[in-house]
């Protein structure tokens, strides 16, 4: 879907209460938001909740977007922070469930998971990383953000992101290497 | 491993170098560097092969339905004033109020806390501005402020008055403190508050007295999560998160 105008115009319309404009923003970015939420949280249900919370925040804080970064980067940052909120609230729960944990009462969920799940071994390996490294790798290597964009999303210097990406990849290599060559 | 080569190897692996000659020479002459490079490229290949993770149409429909149900309960933003104009009203109201307080200062009751001082000016605000702490304070998930019969000041207004410099300093000190120092025993009120905020599994490392009392809350394993959360007991509210 292409933007029917520039990002600033869209946000201005959202701020003024144009819900069709907000719907456009949501449909453009919802897949990417869900993707990063799923990779960070490792659970579809929680990722969907976090996606909803992300866009609620986008709607409420649209007036605070000042255009210093791209709209997508700003939304990504909200998504990552929302995921952190969810992780804090859920910290007492068991370790992040793998995609094959399916509620048998909801057969549609099983189809959804089989058709659109991350490779389990990658998700397991990601879950084993320290959160700082994991999030840097997700944003840079899975979501395709540039280092400056990832730094903006995570609120850290570019050098810090580069270091975290490097160390995250190194740890992933160890985890994935062990899984593939036990 | 030569620490100063990390950026170069990682950049060579993900193809972001304009001139690869130096990096290529390094991995050809340094066995450890070469091994790291192969490891990095292997991981990138694995990650590139990972399928995208998209919502199903069913999930999207549910998301849109739930989101719009939630938004229908939001006050309409139609005709709302821009944020800068709203805050100019707040600033003007504050100026008038402070002047009145200065004139009336005395047994009639002066300003009290900043939140009470703002109570009169809050009527000037457009209903759209009813948020928790500003965006940079990372309070994206908190929705406690959007309630009917809300306090006389908005969370955004209260957030402007936070002593951010002191909170940042306290956060630095908390991170640098020894791990076995300063986990405070909690009374029932504090425990209930932390549970309501979803912080029941974190520890209170300090009680900070500034313009009001802040609980300084951290995870038990700062190696994993270095966030420092500041909670006001009076409102049982997360007012700032320092990362």
Chain B hits for A167, CB-CB cut-off 8 Å, are 6
Q: Contact B59/A112, CB-based, under 8 Å?
A: yes
Q: Contact A52/B70, CB-based, under 8 Å?
A: yes
CA–CA separation, B5 vs B36, rounded Å?
Answer: 10
| CB-closest option in B44, B56, B83 to A141 | B44
CA–CA separation, B203 vs B3, rounded Å?
Answer: 35
CA–CA separation, B216 vs B174, rounded Å?
Answer: 8
Would you state the pLDDT for residue A31? Answer: 94
Radius of gyration (C-alpha) of chain A in whole angstroms: 17
Q: In chain B, which residue's Cα lies nearest the Cα of A26?
A: B64
Chain B hits for A91, CB-CB cut-off 8 Å, are 201-202, 219
Chain A hits for B63, CB-CB cut-off 8 Å, are 30, 48, 51-52
How many angstroms separate the CA of residue B102 from the nearest CA in chain A? 33
Q: HEC states along B115-147? A: HHHCCCHHHHCCCCCCCCCCHHHCCCCCCCCCC
Would you state the pLDDT for residue A10? Answer: 84
pLDDT band at A30 (very low <50, low <70, confident <90, very high): very high
Q: In chain A, which residue's Cα lies nearest the Cα of B45?
A: A141
Q: In chain A, which residue's Cα lies nearest the Cα of B4?
A: A163
pLDDT band at B223 (very low <50, low <70, confident <90, very high): low
Q: Give how far Cα B183 sits from Cα of A112, B172, B191, B217, B219, Å.
A: 44, 16, 13, 9, 11
Q: What are the φ and ψ backbone dihedral angles of B214, each rounded to 5 degrees?
A: -115, 135
| Span of A88-92, B46-50, B59-63, B143-147 with lowest mean pLDDT | B143-147
Q: Contact A26/B67, CB-based, under 8 Å?
A: yes
Q: Contact B51/A119, CB-based, under 8 Å?
A: yes
Return the bridge partners of B218, or none.
B203, B228
Is the pLDDT score of B168 beyond 80?
A: no
Name the H helices within chain A: 7-15, 19-41, 44-61, 71-89, 107-115, 120-128, 131-137, 147-154, 158-180
How many angstroms separate the CA of residue A30 from the nearest CA in chain B? 9
Q: In chain B, which residue's Cα lies nearest the Cα of A14?
A: B77
b/e per residue B209-225 (b: at least 16 CB within 10 A) = eeebebbbbbbeeeeeb
| CB-closest option in A84, A165, A176 to B46 | A176
Note if the pTM is more than 0.80: no
CA–CA separation, B84 vs A24, rounded Å?
Answer: 25
Would you state the pLDDT for residue B161? Answer: 60
Chain A hits for B142, CB-CB cut-off 8 Å, are 85
Q: Give how far Cα B20 sits from Cα of B11, B207, B221, B241, Å.
A: 9, 53, 40, 41
Q: Contact B43/A176, CB-based, under 8 Å?
A: yes
Contact B156, B131 (CB under 8 A): yes
DSSP per residue, B67-108: HHHHHHTSPP-TTPPPHHHHHHHHHHHHHHHHHHHHHH-STT
How many angstroms separate the CA of residue B178 from the nearest CA in chain A? 21
Q: What is the percent of chain B with per-residue pLDDT over 90, rounded to a whole number?
A: 4
Would you state the pLDDT for residue A160? Answer: 93
Contact A82, A54 (CB under 8 A): yes
HSE at residue B143, side-chain half, CA atoms within 13 A, is 19
Chain B hits for A111, CB-CB cut-off 8 Å, are 56
Return the structure tokens found at B188. 């029932």
Enter the ipTM: 0.75
Q: For B66-117, what is each residue's pLDDT tens digit?
A: 988 888 876 655 445 556 766 777 888 888 888 888 888 865 555 444 444 4
If you ran DSSP here, which 8-state letter would residue A101 be given?
Answer: -
B contact test, residue of A22, A45, A60, A159 with most B CBs within 10 A: A60
Q: In chain B, which residue's Cα lies nearest the Cα of A59?
A: B71
Mean confidence (pLDDT) of chain A:
80
Is the pLDDT score of A119 beyond 70?
A: no
Q: Which residue has better confidence, A75 or A91?
A: A75
Contact B152, B117 (CB under 8 A): no
How many angstroms separate the CA of residue A58 from the nearest CA in chain B? 9
Q: Contact B54/A78, CB-based, under 8 Å?
A: no
Would you state the pLDDT for residue A54? Answer: 96
CA–CA separation, A82 vs B143, rounded Å?
Answer: 11
Q: Contact B46/A122, CB-based, under 8 Å?
A: yes
| Span of A83-92, A110-119, B25-34, B160-169 with lowest mean pLDDT | A110-119
How many angstroms separate the CA of residue A85 from the nearest CA in chain B? 6
Q: Contact A116/B134, CB-based, under 8 Å?
A: no
Is the pLDDT score of A133 beyond 90?
A: yes
Would you state the pLDDT for residue A3? Answer: 44
């Amino acid at each position: 879907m292409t933007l029917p105008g520039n990002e600033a115009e869209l946000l201005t319309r959202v701020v003024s209460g144009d819900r069709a404009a907000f719907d456009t923003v949501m449909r453009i970015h919802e897949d990417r938001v869900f993707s990063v939420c799923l990779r960070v949280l490792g659970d579809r249900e929680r990722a969907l909740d976090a996606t909803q919370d992300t866009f609620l925040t986008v709607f409420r804080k649209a007036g605070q977007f000042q255009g210093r970064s791209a709209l997508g980067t700003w939304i990504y940052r909200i998504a990552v922070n929302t995921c952190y909120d969810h992780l804090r609230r859920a910290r007492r729960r068991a370790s992040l469930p793998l995609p094959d944990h399916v509620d048998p009462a909801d057969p549609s969920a099983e189809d959804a998971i089989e058709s659109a799940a991350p490779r389990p071994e990658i998700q397991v390996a990601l879950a084993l990383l320290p959160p700082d490294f994991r999030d840097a790798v997700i944003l840079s290597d899975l979501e395709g953000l540039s280092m400056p964009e990832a730094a903006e999303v995570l609120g850290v210097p570019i050098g810090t992101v580069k270091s975290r990406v490097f160390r995250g990849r190194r740890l992933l290599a160890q985890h994935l290497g062990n899984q593939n060559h036990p | 491993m030569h620490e100063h080569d990390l950026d170069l190897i990682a950049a060579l692996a993900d193809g972001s170098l304009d001139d690869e000659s130096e990096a290529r020479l390094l991995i050809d002459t340094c066995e450890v560097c070469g091994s790291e490079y192969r490891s990095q490229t292997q991981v990138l290949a694995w990650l590139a092969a990972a399928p995208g993770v998209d919502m199903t149409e069913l999930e999207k429909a549910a998301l849109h339905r739930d989101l719009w149900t939630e938004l229908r309960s939001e006050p309409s933003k139609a005709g709302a004033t821009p944020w800068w104009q709203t805050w100019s009203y707040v600033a003007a109201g504050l100026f008038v109020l402070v002047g009145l307080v200065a004139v009336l200062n005395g047994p009639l009751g002066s300003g009290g806390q900043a939140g009470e001082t703002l109570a009169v000016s809050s009527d000037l605000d457009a209903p759209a501005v009813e948020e928790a702490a500003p965006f940079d304070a990372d309070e994206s998930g908190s929705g406690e402020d959007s309630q009917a019969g809300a306090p006389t000041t908005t969370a955004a207004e209260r957030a402007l008055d936070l002593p951010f410099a002191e909170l940042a300093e306290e956060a630095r000190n908390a991170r640098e403190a020894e791990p076995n120092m300063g986990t405070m025993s909690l009374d029932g009120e504090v425990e209930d508050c932390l549970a309501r905020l979803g912080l029941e599994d974190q520890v209170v490392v300090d009680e900070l007295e500034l313009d009001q009392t802040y609980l300084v809350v951290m995870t038990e394993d700062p190696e994993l999560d270095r966030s420092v959360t500041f909670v006001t007991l009076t409102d049982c509210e997360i007012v700032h998160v320092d990362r």
